[in-house]
Amino acid sequence: MFDWISQWGRSGLDAISVIGRSGIFLFRSLLGRPATGFFGLLIKQLYSVGVLSLLIIIVSGLFIGMVLGLQGYNILVDYGSEQAIGQMVALTLVRELGPVVTALLFAGRAGSALTAEIGLMKATEQLSSMEMIGVDPLRRVVAPRLVAGFISMPLLAMIFSVVGVWGGLLVGVDWLGVYDGSFWANMQQSVDFREDVLNGIIKSCVFGFVCTWIAVFQGYDSAPTSEGISIATTKTVVYSSLAVLGLDFILTAVMFGNL
Amino acid sequence: MLESSENYIQITGMTFARGDRLIFDNVTINIPKGKVTAIMGPSGTGKTTLLRLIGGQLKPDSGEILVAGQNIAKLSRQELFVARERMGMLFQSGALFSDLSVYENVAFPLRVHTSLPEDMIRDIVLMKLNAVGLRGARHLMPSELSGGMTRRVALARSIVLDPELMMYDEPFAGQDPIAMGMLVKLIRSLNTSLGITSVLVSHDVGESMSISDYVVLIADGRVIGQGTPKALLEQSSPLVTQFLNGLPDGPVPFHFPAEDLASDMLQGGTRV
Amino acid sequence: MRTRLVEFSVGGFMVAGFAALVMLAFQVSGLTLKSAEDVYHVYAQFDDLGGLSVRGKVSVAGVTVGKISDIRLDSKSYNALVEMEIYRSVNELPKDSIASIQTAGLLGEKYISISPGAEEEFLKEGDTLFDTQSALNIEKLISNFASSKLGQ
């Protein structure tokens, strides 16, 4: 019984120290002079984090938009207001599904890759040897990846939303025969740039920050064994997803709710 | 005997614990300048940890580590990175950057620490690669190299900035006799030609004794003997004799601490 | 050559991202470049909003001329005080215009419709519309109808 309590306390302390470590980690990576050749490193990371995630983002965005169009039509047609389908698809995508689904896909696609890559670099002593060469791996390895993640996420989320709207248009207008004039008009009337689009982008910036931070930190903090890397990768996906969904609620409440 | 005034590394009263386990208990080690020093001891005695302490990747709980007169544990993060430019370290796995070619791996320290023109970098890199006999392998990626070659490339990379101190972490572990011979020759020739202070961590008694000018034996977190290889071999301490002759049981026990075998067996049941 | 490909695709990615932003701005949210149009504020008091909300539109004869920017309770009269932003270009609304809360369609959004009056003087910044019609409350209507039927 006593053991149990002390174990509980210890894991609580551990959790707090992990949070502390990750904060120091972020601080050390981003503050101060960037590594030499930072821009080239950033381009490389933008490629592996952003460009390589494009395909999955576009395909998922298209299908989600199409599903929204189909479901929305089936519900709205009962009320004779199927021309509101554009409004429904666009609002759902721009406000919620764009940022959230992109972040979840990002955590699975790019986040896990970041964790595994950095974890493996740690396990094969590449990070240690970089330190011994006199180069700070936080600046050289971690910082470009963090920045690439921050930049990529909002861009991916916007692409996701646009492709999704196009998918909704495809189903609603081309297949189900909604008049495309009212499709756009309804959408433009109800979607506000500041309230909806910008808030959605802010959301995806927050998600990008959190997901990349978690992914890179888990890799850096992993136990340098094959088991450690696999645990870290799992943690990345689980923690990122939970963080995204939790933060989404909070952000939505702040932005759109009347709390 | 060696003069103690010419010490490149001075470790005094250093204690280091990992969790509850005491790895070094008030250890004092001096490493002479310009010589090859082998640090030997049974596996798990923290030999690699010692190198990391010297390199400043770990900080001691107490005591001080002076490298070229600088207290490593007291340096700021930035100062430490500057101090490390004068150190080279050969990791057990080689630790080549897997996304860079052999050439770029060796050029890496030059690119980040100097602003030399490209043709000068090329000359230096090819020279260093030539020294380890792998000038022809410059276009290969690390994944295409054998274990011995990886270690030689890593060696070329760690000497590319002409360090004052080279540290070798188990350079002979898992190498075939030919690769081992090459490494022994390389380490020795680097030391004589460049006057580098070398620290070698190993449990390969034969190779280490043949290569080094000075040997430090550690076990159980303490220094159990130090001196020239010859002096050590003549010593009669049972611990030293056990290690140097490779006897399975002795002061370093064969068994991991456990309760008595008979009582363990007689306990019965399925408790593990 | 490979680096060029990487750089090219990253560039393409960035361009696509910003193109998406432009699409979202203009095509999806219908942002017009003159959206930062000059507005002036007009107030109106209602005794029942019936679900009118901030961001709802303000229209004259069905043409949108502004939006509702703020709703609060007037602490003296216990009425709802609605602040509207009317486009500067619509500057010839008579002072005695009537503001009424209407519903788009049967179940649609509530909005404010302004029916122009006949006065010579026009509304300007900070003016208040006194002639207002509150939302048509269907429940109240039904209960009134029911009680009058019962009373017969």
Q: How far is A238 from chain B (nearest CA, A)?
A: 28
pLDDT band at A12 (very low <50, low <70, confident <90, very high): confident
B82 contact residues in A (CB cutoff 8 A):
134
Same domain? C46 vs C18: no
Q: Nearest by CB to A159, which of C6, C17, C28?
A: C17
pLDDT of the residue at B260: 76
- Is there a contact between A158 and C17 if contact means CB atoms under 8 Å apart? yes
Q: Which two tokens stand for residue B225?
A: 């003997």
**C146 inside domain:** no
Q: Nearest by CB to B57, which of A37, A128, A136?
A: A128
Q: How far is A117 from chain C (nearest CA, A)?
A: 19
Q: Which long-range contacts (CB under 8 A, 24 or more apart) does C5-8 make?
A: C6/A43, C6/A44, C6/A47, C7/A43
Q: Nearest by CB to A192, which of C9, C13, C29?
A: C29
- Is there a contact between A134 and B98 if contact means CB atoms under 8 Å apart? no
Same domain? C22 vs C41: no
Give Cβ neighbours of residue A231 (< 8 Å, ≥ 6 apart).
A222, A223
**C2 inside domain:** yes
Q: What is the mean pLDDT of chain A?
A: 89
> How many domains are contained in chain A?
1
Q: Span C111-130, mean pLDDT? A: 85
Give Cβ neighbours of residue A246 (< 8 Å, ≥ 6 apart).
none
Chains in contact with B, where contact means 3 or more Cβ–Cβ distances below 8 Å, are: A
Bridging pattern class, strands C63-74 and C98-103: unpaired
pLDDT higher at B42 or C84: C84
DSSP secondary structure code for residue B75 in this structure = S
Domain ranges of chain B: 1-83+164-272, 87-162
- Is there a contact between A128 and B91 if contact means CB atoms under 8 Å apart? yes
**C145 inside domain:** no
Same domain? C4 vs C45: no
Residue type at B194 in one-letter notation? L
Place of tokens 């000059």: C38
Domain, as residue range, for C6: 1-31
- Is there a contact between B88 and A132 if contact means CB atoms under 8 Å apart? yes
**A15 inside domain:** no
Same domain? C60 vs C96: yes
Q: Nearest by CB to B84, which of A35, A37, A132?
A: A132
Same domain? C56 vs C112: yes
pLDDT of the residue at B1: 38
Domain, as residue range, for A101: 56-256
pLDDT band at A71 (very low <50, low <70, confident <90, very high): very high
pLDDT of the residue at C33: 58
Same domain? C7 vs C55: no
pLDDT of the residue at B3: 43
pLDDT of the residue at B2: 43
Q: How far is A113 from chain B (nearest CA, A)?
A: 15
Flag whether residue B108 sits within 8 Å of chain A, measured between CB atoms.
yes
Same domain? C76 vs C114: yes
Q: Nearest by CB to B89, which of A36, A129, A136?
A: A129
pLDDT, tens digit, 9 for 90 and up, residues A233-251:
999 999 999 999 999 999 9
Q: Span B27-32, mean pLDDT? A: 85
**C152 inside domain:** no
User: Is there a contact between B72 and B56 (Cβ–Cβ < 8 Å)?
Assistant: yes
Q: Span A184-188, mean pLDDT? A: 82
**C148 inside domain:** no
Phi, psi of A35 (to 5 degrees): -60, 155
Q: What is the mean pLDDT of chain B?
A: 81
Q: How far is C109 from chain A (nearest CA, A)?
A: 11
pTM exceeds 0.95, yes or no? no
pLDDT of the residue at A157: 94
Q: What is the mean pLDDT of chain C?
A: 81
Beta bridge pairs of residue B225: B217
Q: How far is B90 from chain A (nearest CA, A)?
A: 8
> How many domains are contained in chain C?
2
- Is there a contact between A132 and B81 if contact means CB atoms under 8 Å apart? no
Angstrom distance (rounded) from CA A246 to CA A242:
6
Q: How far is A128 from chain B (nearest CA, A)?
A: 8
pLDDT at A213 over 90: yes
**C120 inside domain:** yes
pLDDT, tens digit, 9 for 90 and up, residues B58-100:
888 888 888 888 888 888 888 888 888 888 888 888 788 888 8
Chains in contact with C, where contact means 3 or more Cβ–Cβ distances below 8 Å, are: A
pLDDT band at C64 (very low <50, low <70, confident <90, very high): confident
A126 contact residues in B (CB cutoff 8 A):
95-98
Interface pTM, i.e. ipTM: 0.76
Tell me if residue B254 falls in helix, strand or coil: coil
Q: Span A83-106, mean pLDDT? A: 91
- Is there a contact between B96 and A136 if contact means CB atoms under 8 Å apart? no
Nearest CA in chain A to B158: A133
Q: Nearest by CB to A136, which of B81, B154, B157?
A: B81
DSSP secondary structure code for residue A34 in this structure = P
Flag whether residue C28 sits within 8 Å of chain A, measured between CB atoms.
yes
pLDDT, tens digit, 9 for 90 and up, residues B109-145:
888 888 888 888 999 899 888 888 888 888 888 888 8
Same domain? C89 vs C14: no
Flag whether residue A74 sits within 8 Å of chain B, measured between CB atoms.
no
C 80-109 residues with CB < 8 A to A: 105, 107
Same domain? C55 vs C124: yes
Q: How far is B81 from chain A (nearest CA, A)?
A: 4
pLDDT, tens digit, 9 for 90 and up, residues A129-178:
888 888 888 888 999 999 999 999 999 999 999 999 999 999 988 898 88
pLDDT band at C1 (very low <50, low <70, confident <90, very high): low
C6 contact residues in A (CB cutoff 8 A):
43-44, 47
Phi, psi of B41 (to 5 degrees): 170, 165
Q: What is the 3-state secondary structure (H, E, C) of chain C?
A: CHHHHHHHHHHHHHHHHHHHHHHHHHHHCCCCHHHHCCEEEEEEEECCCCCCCCCCEEEECCEEEEEEEEEEEECCCCEEEEEEEEECCCCCCECCCEEEEEECCCCCCEEEEEECCCCCCECCCCEEECCEECCCCHHHHHHHHHHHHHHC
Residue type at B143 in one-letter notation? S
Q: What is the DSSP string of A108-176?
A: IIIIHHHHHHHHHHHHTTHHHHHHHHT--HIIIIIHHHHHHHHHHHHHHHHHHHHHHHHHHHIIIIIIT
Mark out chain A residues that contact chain C at CB-CB < 8 A: 43-44, 46-47, 50-51, 54, 79, 81, 90, 94, 152, 154-156, 158-159, 161-162, 165, 184, 187-189, 191-193, 195-197, 201
Q: How far is B248 from chain A (nearest CA, A)?
A: 29
C12 contact residues in A (CB cutoff 8 A):
51
Q: What is the largest CA-CA distance in chain A?
A: 70
- Is there a contact between A155 and C20 if contact means CB atoms under 8 Å apart? yes
Same domain? C40 vs C92: yes
- Options 3.40.309.10, 3.40.50.300, 3.30.1490.20, 1.10.486.10; which CATH number does B1-83+164-272 get? 3.40.50.300
Same domain? C69 vs C12: no
A134 contact residues in B (CB cutoff 8 A):
81-85, 109, 112-113
Q: What is the 3-state secondary structure (H, E, C) of B31-66?
A: EECCCEEEEECCCCCCHHHHHHHHCCCCCCCEEEEE
Q: Nearest by CB to A51, which of C13, C20, C28?
A: C13
- Looking at A223-227, B93-97, B220-224, C134-138, which range is the least confident one? C134-138
Angstrom distance (rounded) from CA C126 to CA A47:
54
Same domain? C119 vs C70: yes
**C106 inside domain:** yes
Q: Which two tokens stand for residue A56?
A: 């999955």
Q: Which two tokens stand for residue B237?
A: 């301490």
pLDDT of the residue at A234: 95
CA nearest neighbour of B43 among B252, B226, B211: B252
Mutation site for C-interface testing, chosen from A46, A91, A151 by largest number of C Cβ within 10 Å: A46
**C129 inside domain:** yes
pLDDT at A39 over 80: yes
pLDDT at A205 over 80: yes
**A209 inside domain:** yes
Helices (H), chain A: 2-30, 38-49, 54-76, 85-91, 98-106, 112-123, 126-133, 137, 143-169, 180-190, 199-221, 226-255
- The CA R_g of chain B, rounded to the nearest whole Å, is 21
E strand map for chain B: 7-18, 21-32, 36-40, 62-67, 70-71, 87-90, 165-169, 197-202, 214-219, 222-227
Q: Which two tokens stand for residue B58?
A: 């770990």
